[in-house]
Amino acid sequence: MDPKEIIEQLQLLTQQFVASLQNQSTEQAIRDLQAAYLSKKGKVGELQTSLGQVEPSQRKEVGQAFNKAKQTIVQSVTEAIDGLVKRAEEAYLNAHFDVTLPGRAPAQGHMHPLSIVMYDIVDVFTSMGFDVAQGPEIETDEYNFAKLNFPDDHPARDMQDTLFIEEGKTLLRTHMSPVQIRSMLERPLPVQVVAPGAVFRRDDDPTHSPMFFQIEGLLVDKGIHFGHLKGVLNTFLYQIFGEDVQTRFRPSFFPFTEPSVEVDIQCIYCKGKGCRLCSQTGWIEILGAGMVDPNVLEGVGIDSEMYSGFAFGLGVDRVAMLKYEGITSIKLFYENDPRFLERFRR
């Protein structure tokens, strides 16, 4: 066979291959095309069978032509595939993508705002070395009142409107103080606890809920004095409302503490200028506290000459309403409307 003719045909096949390569859009199609030319039964392969018929002196030349053609085909295949990958990469990088669709978040629950605030408060005290104490919500009159220095038929009992289970015997605790009594009876001295929990009063209007949450605290040890009460409560208030919050202590009365105080913080909204929230006074009452009354200590068998202590209490609902803006009624906490609750995700 005429070597020249073979070489020409080979060139024609190469050109043909390169031309049809342009039409291939997948790697597989390119590979298939390559096989259609280069495999044994492919177009180039079949032509190569004619090599045997070429004059031996000319075989070298024709053989080289075959090698060159194969090289060209393989190289153009590599290039075409590279090009294809590159185009795909570019297309992926440039394709429009809607980032405004919502994220696909796993179901996310969260705690109730009252729990969040309660744990925040408890954490401050546990970090100072206080433990957590608990007790029954249905209490005896003895623990809720008598042991707290509320005499029978004393007007101090009017300070807390009580829900009774059995009048004079059992009731829904009106404050967390019975847990203080239980702590002093059950724990070794020094007693250093906070008691968070639900309390109940016979009160129901936009600013009062018949059930609400309180945290009370107690520290009884030798040498505890009123300056310590101020130090611990100031530290607590700085942690919850910020280091720059101002506090003031006003004398007050609670049957179970003597002396007793009420603690105000400077209004966190108007910073003391006076606004609706603080009734124009610039101050907001936040805590009740005092030195544990000697009658209370003696009532649980603690020598009031040797030991002294301070106690305090605050409303969790109230702190939550101060910390989070926009809570217009205490009732919102107990309605559990999902739209309200989900504002407190964190």
Partner 1 sequence: MLASYKWLCELAGFAPDPKELEEKFTFSGLEVASVVHRKSEFDHIVVAEVVEKEAHPDSKKLSLVKVSDGSAVLPIVCGASNCPLPGGRVVLAKEGARFGDFVIEPRKVGGYESFGMLCSEEELNLGPDSDGIIVLEGVDASLGTPIAEALQLEDWIFELEVTPNRPDALYHRGLAREMCLLFDKPFAPTERPAAPLASGKTSDVIHVTVENATGAPRYAASVVENVTVQASPFWLRYRLHNLDIRPISNLVDMTNAILMEYGQPLHAFDLDKLAGKKIVVRNAAEGEKMRTLDDVERTFSTDDLLICDGAKPVAVAGVMGGLDTEVSNETRNILIECAYFNPSNVRKTSKKLKLSSESSYRFERGVDPNHEPEVLAAANAMVCELSGGKAREGIVDCYPKPIAPIEVIFRPSRYAAMMGHQISSAQMVKCIEGIGAEVTVDGENYIVRIPTHRPDMEREIDVIEEIARVTGMNQIEAMLPQIQCQIPRRGAFENVKRAKECLSALGLMESVTYSFVPKEILRSLGVGDELITVANPLNAQRAAMRTTLFAGLLENLKRTHSRYMDSFAQFEVAKTYHSSNAELPTEVVRVAAVLDGYVGSWVSESSRRYDFYDAKGIVDSFCCAMTGRSPDFTVESGNVAMHPKRTLAVSVNGVTVGVLGEIHPAVLKELKLSSGAVGFELDLEMLCAQRAVATAVPLSDFPPMARDVAVVADEAQDVGPILAAFAEAGGDLVTGVKLFDVYRGEHVEKGKKSIAFSVQYRSFEKTLTDKEVDMIHQKAVSSVSEQYNVQLR
Kindly identify the residues of this chain, within the stretch 162-181, that bind partner 1 according to CB under 8 A: 163-167, 170, 172
CB of 274 to partner 1, least distance (A): 13
The count of other CB atoms within 10 Å of the CB of residue 155 is 8
Interaction between residue 337 and partner 1 (CB under 8 A)? yes
* One-letter amino acid of 341: L
Q: CB 93 → partner 1: shortest distance, Å?
A: 23
Under the binding rule (CB under 8 A), the answer on residue 326 touching partner 1 is: no
Count of Cβ atoms closer than 10 Å to residue 56 Cβ:
7
Q: Based on the number of CB atoms within 10 Å of its own CB, is 70 exposed (0-12), middle (13-18) or buried (19 or more)?
A: middle
CA atoms of 263 and 253, how far apart (whole Å) = 12
Q: How far is the CB of 294 from partner 1 (least distance, A)?
A: 5
Distances (CA, A) of 238 to 188, 232, 235, 242, 291: 30, 10, 5, 5, 21
Pair 181, 300: CB distance under 8 Å: yes
Using the minimum distance from each CB to partner 1, give the nearer residue, 61 or 221.
Answer: 221
Choice from 41, 96, 276, 339 touching partner 1 (CB under 8 A): 339
Smallest gap, in angstroms, from Cβ of residue 272 to partner 1?
A: 14
**Which region, judged by CB under 8 A, interacts with partner 1, from 9-17, 57-65, 259-267, 322-330?**
259-267
Binding residues among 268-297 for partner 1 as defined by CB under 8 A: 291, 293-294
Among 1, 36, 54, 111, binds partner 1 (CB under 8 A): 111
Q: Which of 309, 116, 111, 129 is nearest to 236 (CA)?
A: 129
Identify which of 262, 102, 288 has the alpha carbon closest to the alpha carbon of residue 177. Answer: 288
| Identity of the amino acid at 202 | R
- Say whether 140 sits in a helix, a strand or coil: strand
Answer yes or no: are the C-beta atoms of 220 and 193 closer than 8 Å.
Answer: no
Q: Is 238 in the site for partner 1 (CB under 8 A)?
A: no
- Bridge partners of 311? 218, 290
Q: Is 79 in the site for partner 1 (CB under 8 A)?
A: no
Query: Residue 30 or 265: which CB sits closer to partner 1?
Result: 265
Site for partner 1 in 128-167 (CB under 8 A): 128-134, 136-140, 152-156, 158-159, 163-167
Name which position in 27, 61, 120, 258 contacts partner 1 (CB under 8 A): 258
**What distance in Å separates the CA atoms of residue 330 and residue 53, rounded to the nearest whole number?**
103
Task: Output 63-68 pairs: Cβ under 8 A, ≥24 positions apart.
Answer: 65/6, 65/7, 65/10, 66/10
243 binds partner 1 per the rule CB under 8 A? no
# residues contacting partner 1 (CB under 8 A): 88
User: Between residues 17 and 145, which has the closer beta carbon with respect to partner 1?
Assistant: 145
The residue from 51, 120, 226, 245 that contacts partner 1 (CB under 8 A) is 226
Nearer to partner 1, 27 or 285 (CB): 285
Q: In the numeric block, which tokens belong to residue 35?
A: 């096989």
Which of 29, 211, 277, 327 contacts partner 1 by CB under 8 A? Answer: 211
**Rounded Cα distance, 77 and 38, in Å:** 11
Among 225, 271, 273, 343, binds partner 1 (CB under 8 A): 225
What track of x and - describes contact with partner 1 for positions 29 through 68 (by CB under 8 A)?
Answer: ----------------------------------------
The DSSP output letter for 208 is B
